[in-house]
Chains A and B, each alone.
Chain A
Amino acid sequence: MADREMITIEIDDKPVSVGKDSTILEAAREIDIYIPALCNSELVEPYAACRLCIVEVDDGRKKILVTSCNYPVRKPIKVYTSSEKVLRNRKIILEMMLSRWPGVQVIKDLAKHAGIQKPRYQHPAVDLNPNACILCGLCMRICEQGIWENIINFTNRGAVRAVRMPYDSDQPHCIGCGACAEICPTGAITMVDDPNHPHDADMVRRAGMRITEEMIRFDEEQCDMRGVGTAHLVEIMDAYDLLPVMNYQYGKHEDTPKISSDVLRKFFTKGKPDGCWLGCTMACAKAIEDFELKTGPYKGEKVLVDGPEYETLGGSSNMGIFDPRFVIEYNFYCDTYGLDTISFSTGLSFVMECYETGILDKEKTGGLEIPFGAKDAALELLHQIGRGEGFGLIAGKGIRYMKKYFVENFGADPDFVTDIGMEAKGMEYSEYVTKESLAQQGGYGIALKGAQHDEAWLIFMDMVNKQIPTFEDKAEALHYFPMWRTWFGLCGLCKLPWNDVEPANNAETDEPAKVPGHVQGYCEFFEGVTGKPQTMDSLIRMSEKVYTFQRVFNLKMGFGKREHDVIPYRSAGPVTVTEYESRQERYDTQLRVDVGIDPSGMSSEEKVAAMRKYREAQYEQLLDAVYKRRGWTNDGVPTVEKLEELGIDFPDVIELVRKHGG
């Protein structure tokens, strides 16, 4: 965003400089000059319905009355907000309003301020209701412009004009966000809170409205979640060498623009709030209608596709496929077959690398030629997985199964498939390259459910910002963020409104990465629902109990120790010489600066080995630090003291952890 051209005008003889195309009303507010306005809000486009904001403008040639809410400043002008002409006309407008809605407090106040005792008119449609609708149109404008819905609008004309839902019936498309009620200046629209019996509905609504306001004001210039959803991350991850390409060997590709958010934006036909979380105004879910399928059981049919999101797009680059139509088709069929697009695409990336390195061939795959980029073969394998036949029976069981199968049946090198098979605890990696962020390697490796980034996404903090340089810093981040994100799961809430839009003052807070303003909002949300006041610490404490208990559960099921927090080496560094040489300058510098050895004169194989030795040791040191911070033993088992501290020291839990040295 470039700095705006500034223009200086005079309002009531006071100079003020504002950006070109600001309104007179905005300029007046800059210097605390009050102009009454009933139909104006910063959240919606000006409408000039109430006419109360009239001012007199002298442009050097003539003096005219204009509505200040929608008069753009484009040259130096003089503005008079309280001239005799302005006051006389404003008084007439208020008299008419008062004659129609004599009980509405905001109108009574303005009329009194204008010196009106009693209106001179008798309105034929007088409405004595103190909460009467005054037809300002704020509600329908925020619904349309702010929420991207059209649930309410004006009906009829003249004296019977009113705000209504279509056919005067309840609208199933209303997401219940409450924005119309919140913005209504008279209380004509109210929310019905009875069904859920919240302790303090207003507290819940205020917290929600703050997010809604931020979405309306900032989303387009921040993450554009309402425009393209998480697809906006494709080009960003590519720019930071984090977009997985060819089974996480690389982090960017020259063809990435072919599957960037700008391309997807042209496909998306549905961008409204889809009710995935009723009342959410982030509306990040996107859909594509009338997409004609090229393969599979629905070949030739036009279907609606829910997505694609970032992970589905990143999964495609990971398979070396940069064709948006492929992405949309595999998105549809994964959904249709009940497959996760992440597990499918990461699994196929592994299959493709195995094919390229000779572990697999056409005979072993039942006739499929499936190197990187083979989109037709990828779709055919997807259908085989869906049908449960052919090579799909093997690939559909995931990377952990394939690794074992390829070693036992195809003579694959067990070390190599372990290095490149991107799974942890049996779950496939999601779509981020973690090689340059030790903290994120931990984020994937220590995550209780397997290699998912939804416990912690620390790559920017670690790799770009250099905010968490020490093992202790990383361990602290790997304590706070997993606990914080667990809290969303405990409450059945989505994480996205926490940090995919940012409050205006976030940069000024002590810890902007935590988005303290939104954490406070979640405290209020919890208190508003349950009546129990919360702090950031108390929310984290809630999670810590559950998170630690989950680790104990993992332990009980045979997955809860240090040996289970291992990661494939490709998550930590370059497995092959080709990978190393693709970023040789970076790695050579790191060998020199971080490892303390001179790479000159070393072969690429020697450099790969030296780098590996260093990075694997770093990961072990990270585990030590994280376990210590979490109150676990060096083997990753929660200690009895920690269980007692958290109040989850049940006899069978104590017995279990003791058996494992806890």
Chain B
Amino acid sequence: MINVNGEQSEWSRGKTVRDVIKEKNYLFPLLIARINGKLIPRDKYDSTVIPDEATVDIIHLMSGG
């Protein structure tokens, strides 16, 4: 299991940051991803694999009126 934004979530071998974003349907474009506190650059979402038991933060910024 991994913890995504404070909630337990299924883990599978090879799961990437992009997979989590898709799974959670996080459509908002202004995201910041951290795995166990470490910042993951946006252009590495596809290639960064999440280890089991990791804490994943997908921080949404704000926008709009």
Instruction: Using CB atoms and an 8 Å cutoff, list the residues of chain A in contact with chain B.
Output: 1-4, 221-224, 230, 233, 235-236, 239-240, 309-311, 430, 453-454, 457-458, 460-461, 464-467, 469, 495-496, 499-500, 502, 506-508, 512-513, 515
What are 26 pairs between A and B in contact, CB < 8 Å?
A1-B42, A2-B46, A3-B44, A3-B47, A4-B43, A223-B63, A233-B64, A235-B27, A236-B27, A236-B28, A239-B25, A240-B27, A430-B65, A460-B60, A460-B61, A460-B62, A461-B60, A461-B62, A465-B57, A465-B58, A465-B59, A499-B61, A500-B64, A502-B30, A502-B61, A507-B32
Residue of B27, B42, B60 contacting most chain A CB atoms (<10 Å): B60
Instruction: Identify the closest chain B residue to A235 (Cβ).
Output: B27
Complex Cα spacing A500 to B62, Å: 7
The residues in B between 12 and 63 inclusive whose CB is less than 8 angstroms from any CB of A are: 25-30, 32, 39, 41-47, 57-63
Q: Are A465 and B60 in contact (CB under 8 A)?
A: yes
Nearest Cβ on chain A to B55's Cβ, whole angstroms: 12
Are B5 and A3 neighbours in the complex by a CB distance under 8 Å? no
Interface class of chain A by DSSP:
loop
Q: Which residue of A lies closest to B34 (CB)?
A: A507
Closest-CB distance, A243 to chain B (whole angstroms): 12
Instruction: Please report the C-alpha to C-alpha distance between residue A425 and residue B10 in the assembled complex, in whole angstroms.
Output: 44
**How many angstroms from the CA of A460 to the CA of B29 in the assembled complex?**
12
Bound complex: CA A458 to CA B63 (Å) = 10
Q: How far is the CA of A223 from the CA of B27 in the complex (A)?
A: 11
- Per a CB cutoff under 8 Å, which of A1, A230, A235, A236 touches B65? A230
**Bound complex: CA A1 to CA B43 (Å):** 7
* Given A3-B43, A461-B60, A512-B59, 8 more pairs with CB closer than 8 A: A3-B47, A222-B29, A223-B30, A235-B27, A239-B28, A240-B27, A310-B65, A512-B32
Give A79 to B1 CA distance when docked, in angstroms.
49
Is A466 in contact with B5, judged by CB distance below 8 angstroms?
yes
Q: Which residues of A contact B60 (CB under 8 A)?
A: 460-461, 464-465
Q: Which residues of A contact B26 (CB under 8 A)?
A: 239, 464
User: Which residues of A have CB within 8 Å of B43?
Assistant: 1, 3-4
Q: Are B64 and A515 in contact (CB under 8 A)?
A: no
**Across the two chains, which residue of chain A brings its CB closest to B41?**
A507
A499 touches B57 (CB 8 A): no
Q: Which residue of B lies closest to A3 (CB)?
A: B46
Dominant secondary structure of chain B at its interface with chain A = loop
A508 touches B39 (CB 8 A): yes
With A3-B46, A466-B6 known as contacts, the answer to whether A239 contacts B27 (CB < 8 A) is yes
Min C-beta distance of B18 to chain A, whole Å: 9
Contact between A513 and B62 (Cβ–Cβ < 8 Å)? yes
Q: Which residues of B contact A4 (CB under 8 A)?
A: 43
Knowing A236-B27, A466-B6, the reply to whether A230 touches B32 (Cβ < 8 A) is no
Q: For residue A120, give the distance in angstroms from its CB to the closest CB of chain B.
A: 48
CA distance A506 to B30 in the complex (A): 10
Instruction: Give complex CA distance A457, B41 in Å.
Output: 25
- How far in angstroms is the closest Cβ of chain A from B39? 6
Q: Which of chain B's residues have a CB closer than 8 A to the CB of A458? A: 62
Taking the closest CB of chain A, its distance from the CB of B10, in whole angstroms, is 17
Chain A residues whose CB sits within 8 angstroms of the CB of B61 once the complex forms: 460, 499, 502, 506, 512-513, 515
Whether A499 lies near B62 (C-beta < 8 A) is yes
Docked Cα-Cα span, A323 to B65, in Å, equals 22
- For B29, the chain A residues whose CB sits under 8 A away are 221-224
Chain A contacts for B32, CB-based, 8 A: 506-507, 512
Q: Tell me the complex Cα distance, A502–B5, Å.
A: 21
Q: Report A280 CB to chain B, min CB distance, Å.
A: 15
Which residues of chain B have C-beta atoms less than 8 A from A224's C-beta? 29
| For the complex of A and B, 3 pairs with smallest distance between CB atoms | A460-B60, A466-B6, A507-B32
Most central of B5, B6, B59 by chain A CB within 10 Å? B59
Measured CB to CB, the nearest residue on chain B to A465 is: B59
Q: Which residues of B contact A512 (CB under 8 A)?
A: 32, 59, 61
Q: Which residues on B sit within 8 Å (CB–CB) of A309? A: 65
A residues less than 8 Å from B42 (CB atoms): 1, 507
**Inside 8 A of B25's CB, which chain A residues have their CB?**
239
Question: Could you tell me the distance in whole angstroms from the C-beta of A73 to the nearest C-beta in chain B?
Answer: 17
**Most chain A C-beta atoms within 10 Å of own C-beta, residue among B28, B43, B59, B64:** B64
Which one of B6, B45, B64 lies within 8 Å of A457 (CB-CB)?
A: B64
B24 to chain A: closest residue by CB: A464
> Could you say which residues of chain B place their CB within 8 Å of the CB of A2?
46
Residue numbers in A under 8 Å from B64 (CB-CB): 230, 233, 310, 453, 457, 500
Which residues of chain B come closer than 8 Å to A469, judged between CB atoms?
6
Most central of A236, A496, A508 by chain B CB within 10 Å: A236
Separation of A508 and B40 alpha carbons in the complex (Å): 10
Nearest CB on A from B22, distance (A): 12
Query: B52 → chain A, closest Cβ, in Å?
Result: 21
The distance in angstroms between the C-alpha atoms of A453 and B45, with both chains bound, is: 32
- How far does the alpha carbon of A500 sit from the alpha carbon of B64 in the complex, in Å? 7
Please determine whether B39 and A507 come into contact, CB atoms closer than 8 angstroms.
yes
| A346 to B26 alpha-carbon distance, docked (Å) | 27
A239 to B59, CA, bound (A): 16
CB nearest to B6 among chain A residues: A466
Please name all residues of chain B whose beta carbon is closer than 8 Å to the beta carbon of A513 when the two chains form the complex: 59, 61-62
Minimum CB distance partner of B48 in chain A: A3
Taking CB atoms, residues of chain A closer than 8 Å to B62 are: 457-458, 460-461, 499, 513
